[in-house]
Structure formats: structure tokens, C-alpha cells
């Protein structure tokens, strides 16, 4: 009897305010005097921030050019890019082709200037496409290099049975158009190449954490990838993407940028920065030419390719939607606040009349 009583007492909680839930608590009463000012203050704050974001976005200068080369959209005379598009129609991989875009800047295009390429109607957010990669392989693990993940199929092994590195549909569809910018400093003078800074265009976490080359074999990256095959659409192996040893293999900047998939079917990816030499302050006025190596086919799926020169502000790149969204939410808060105020005044008067009648 004594044993059962002591055992039963051992399971009883302590008789404290915490265990018996007697701690003091604050339970706010959301009266009209508290709720209405919150709505109006939140609405004014959102509208102010929205106006700042909207005008900041409108102050960003952009210069874009559609070089898809689709004659039905009036691109037949656009630097012969339509000829390149026609030659590559239905051919995989398409033949190498070159075209150009000539434009003139009447005034300084203020820097820093960023060069983007934009693709439309390209669904990188497709689930089967998005999972078609092997993150262990991309992190440099030798085991995954020889035995790619099943998610990479059908780009897991080539026809000869060799493992593909990098494997998967994302890597196989790597964007491979290239661009060079030339400036004519005086009318009738020669064109001078504008230096494009292609370093550090990828996210820091991607380049330094997620992507790693496999260990070198006898000091050679090519030997580290021996026994693997490049993706079917690639013209060269992954270890030969660049002559720079710090920008080749899985840590190639263009490759790392491409492997971060986009959430929407129309997206931009950074190609280069223009911030060196005489162009650190921006692009001076004058005539320019962009030489385009046209490799990437998009007409088969109704896509478009654009080149975009853009500068940035404190909020980043051009994004009018963010400012509009803040303005809409702020206006709704103000509107709801006025509706609640009208309802409160009306029913408060009615309650006073009812109390007087009683």
C-alpha cells in the first residue's frame, strides 16, 4: 500500500504556477482604437515603400535586343541572326553561326552596366527537368562521377556506356551563345573591344560551396574526368570549358549560373559585367556592335532570346512588380481601415441610442 502511494505521487506534477498553468498572461483586446491606427500606419508604410521601389525601378536604364531571328516577328534583317536561326532549325546540335547587332548610344549609359541574356517559354521549373542532376557529382565526389544518379536518366550514360559528367537534362541544355562588345569611339574610326568581366557572376554559395571539381590526378583535371563523357549537346568536355584553371570544370561560372534553375518560364541570367578600363563609369556615347555566336536553338519550342544591357539601383535590377505589389497592399490596408472606421462609427451610434432607450 505504501509502495503504490509513493509510485502514484512520483507521477504527480509539481504544484507550481508553471505546471498548473497559473502564470500571468497578457491577452490584448483588439478594440477599434488599437486596430484602426494599425491599418492606417501599415497602409501608409507600404505605400511609401512602394513609391520608393517603383520610382527606383523606373530610374533603371535598360537596352534590350531580340536576336531570336524569327522572320514572322520582323527579325529578318536583324544582323543576319534570322539566317543563323534558319540554318539551325531542326538540327541537333545546330551548326555554328555568327551575327551582329549594331546600335548607337546618344548619351552616357551610366554604370555599372550588366549584360544579361533572357530566354522565354523555357520551363526550367518543370519537375522532371529540375531534378535531372546529381548534386553529389557536382560537389566533386569521385563515386558519383563514375556512377551518376538515376535522376539524370536519360542523360546518365552515353551510347557507349560511359558515365556522363555533368549528367542530367539541365547540364545538357547549357546555354552556349557567346557575345563580344565593340565600341567605335569616333565616327569612321576603328572598333575597339569593350572588356567584359566574366568573373564572379555566379552566387558565392554556389561557386564556393555547392560546386567542386574532383581531385586532380597527377595535377591534371582532364585525367580526373578520364572515363567520363560530356553531355550529348556539348561540343567539348567539361574540363575544357575555359583555359582558366579556376574557371573550368564544375566551377565554370557560366555553368554554375545555368545550373541555378529559374522559377518562371521567362528569365534572365547574368553573362558579364562592364566595369573595367574606360568603361568603369558606364558606356560612353557612340556606335557599338555586339558580335553574337549563335549556337542555342529556341525556335523549335517557340522561345525567344534577348540581349539586355542594364544598370542597377539600391534595390537591384529593374523590377516594377515589387513596387506595384507594395502599392496595392498599402491601398487595400487604407481602404479596409476606412471601411472599418465607417462600420465602427455607425454601430457605435446605434449602441448609444439603444442604451438611451433602455
The pLDDT, as a whole number, for residue 77 is 46
Mean of the pLDDT values across residues 270-297?
A: 91
What is the residue whose three cell numbers read 462600420?
343
Which pLDDT tens digit goes with each residue over 64-119? 999 998 655 544 445 578 888 777 666 666 777 889 999 999 999 988 899 999 99
Name the β-bridge partners of 184.
191, 287
The pLDDT, as a whole number, for residue 115 is 95
Within a domain: 188: yes
Domain shared by 197 and 239, yes or no: yes
Q: With CA atoms as reference, report the closest residue to 118 among 316, 303, 251, 263.
A: 303
Res 334 pLDDT > 60? yes
Q: What is the DSSP string of 304-350?
A: EEEEEEE--BTTBS--HHHHHHHHHHHHHHHHHHHHHHHHHHHHHHH
Domain shared by 37 and 177, yes or no: no
**Residue 179 burial by Cβ neighbours in a 10 Å radius (0-12, 13-18, 19+):** middle
The pLDDT, as a whole number, for residue 120 is 95
Domain extent for 293: 78-309
Distance CA 166, CA 170 (A): 9
Domain shared by 109 and 196, yes or no: yes
Distance CA 339, CA 242 (A): 63
Mean of the pLDDT values across residues 5-21?
A: 67
- Neighbouring CB atoms inside 10 A of 358's CB total 5
Mean of the pLDDT values across residues 253-274?
A: 95
Which pLDDT tens digit goes with each residue over 117-134? 999 999 999 999 999 999
- Neighbouring CB atoms inside 10 A of 253's CB total 23
Within a domain: 352: no
Q: What percent of the chain has pLDDT over 70?
A: 89
Within a domain: 9: no
Domain shared by 256 and 186, yes or no: yes
The pLDDT, as a whole number, for residue 269 is 95
Mean of the pLDDT values across residues 274-290?
A: 90
115, 193, 238, 322 from 119: Cα distances, Å: 14, 26, 23, 21
Range scoring the smallest mean pLDDT among 14-28, 232-246, 290-304:
14-28
pTM score: 0.80
Distance CA 166, CA 297 (A): 21
Which pLDDT tens digit goes with each residue over 148-164? 999 999 999 999 999 99
Q: What percent of the chain has pLDDT over 90?
A: 57
Domain shared by 139 and 286, yes or no: yes
Mean of the pLDDT values across residues 24-33?
A: 77
Query: Taking the CA atoms of the chain, what radius of gyration do you get in angstroms?
Result: 31
Mean of the pLDDT values across residues 4-25?
A: 69
Domain shared by 87 and 175, yes or no: yes
Domain shared by 129 and 206, yes or no: yes
Domain shared by 341 and 201, yes or no: no
The pLDDT, as a whole number, for residue 14 is 76
What integer best gives the mean pLDDT of the chain? 86
Which pLDDT tens digit goes with each residue over 296-306? 988 888 899 99
Q: With CA atoms as reference, report the closest residue to 80 among 288, 287, 291.
A: 291
Q: Are 156 and 164 in contact (CB under 8 A)?
A: yes
Within a domain: 69: no
Domain shared by 50 and 101, yes or no: no
| DSSP three-state, residue 103 | strand
The pLDDT, as a whole number, for residue 215 is 92
Distance CA 132, CA 215 (A): 24
| Domains held by the chain: number | 2
**Could you tell me where the beta strands, DSSP code E, fall in 187-276?**
191-194, 267-274
Which pLDDT tens digit goes with each residue over 338-358? 998 888 888 776 655 555 555
- Provide the Cα torsion 310, 253, 82, 191; round to 10°: 60
Amino acid at each position: 500500500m505504501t509502495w503504490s502511494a509513493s509510485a502514484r505521487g512520483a507521477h504527480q506534477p509539481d504544484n507550481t504556477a508553471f505546471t498548473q498553468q497559473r502564470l500571468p498572461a497578457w491577452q490584448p483586446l483588439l478594440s477599434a482604437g488599437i486596430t484602426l491606427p494599425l491599418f492606417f500606419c501599415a497602409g501608409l508604410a507600404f505605400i511609401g515603400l512602394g513609391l520608393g521601389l517603383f520610382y527606383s525601378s523606373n530610374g533603371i536604364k535598360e537596352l534590350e535586343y531580340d536576336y531570336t531571328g524569327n522572320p514572322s516577328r520582323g527579325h529578318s534583317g536583324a544582323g543576319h541572326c534570322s539566317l543563323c536561326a534558319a540554318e539551325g532549325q531542326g538540327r541537333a546540335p545546330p551548326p555554328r553561326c555568327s551575327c551582329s547587332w549594331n546600335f548607337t548610344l546618344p548619351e552616357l549609359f551610366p554604370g555599372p552596366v550588366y549584360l544579361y541574356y533572357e530566354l522565354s517559354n523555357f520551363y526550367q521549373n518543370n519537375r522532371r527537368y529540375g531534378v535531372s542532376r546529381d548534386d553529389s557529382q557536382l560537389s566533386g565526389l569521385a563515386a558519383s562521377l563514375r556512377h551518376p544518379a538515376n535522376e539524370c536518366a536519360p542523360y546518365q550514360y552515353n551510347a557507349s556506356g560511359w558515365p556522363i559528367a555533368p549528367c542530367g537534362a539541365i547540364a545538357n541544355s547549357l546555354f552556349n551563345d557567346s557575345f563580344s562588345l565593340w565600341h567605335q569611339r569616333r565616327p569612321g574610326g576603328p572598333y575597339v573591344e569593350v572588356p567584359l568581366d566574366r568573373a564572379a557572376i555566379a552566387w558565392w554559395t554556389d561557386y564556393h560551396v555547392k560546386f567542386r571539381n574532383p581531385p586532380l590526378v597527377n595535377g591534371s583535371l582532364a585525367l580526373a574526368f578520364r572515363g567520363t563523357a560530356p553531355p550529348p549537346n556539348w561540343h567539348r568536355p567539361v574540363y575544357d570549358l575555359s583555359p582558366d584553371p579556376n574557371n573550368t570544370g564544375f566551377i565554370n561560372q557560366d555553368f554554375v549560373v545555368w545550373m541555378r534553375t529559374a522559377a518562371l518560364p521567362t528569365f534572365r541570367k547574368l553573362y558579364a559585367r562592364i566595369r573595367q578600363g574606360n568603361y568603369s563609369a558606364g558606356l560612353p556615347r557612340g556606335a557599338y556592335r555586339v558580335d553574337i555566336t549563335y549556337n542555342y536553338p529556341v525556335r523549335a519550342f517557340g522561345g525567344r532570346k534577348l540581349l539586355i544591357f542594364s544598370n542597377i539601383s539600391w534595390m537591384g535590377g529593374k523590377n516594377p512588380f515589387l513596387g506595384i505589389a507594395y502599392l496595392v497592399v498599402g491601398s487595400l490596408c487604407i481602404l479596409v481601415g476606412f471601411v472599418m472606421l465607417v462600420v465602427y462609427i455607425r454601430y457605435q451610434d446605434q449602441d448609444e441610442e439603444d442604451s438611451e432607450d433602455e
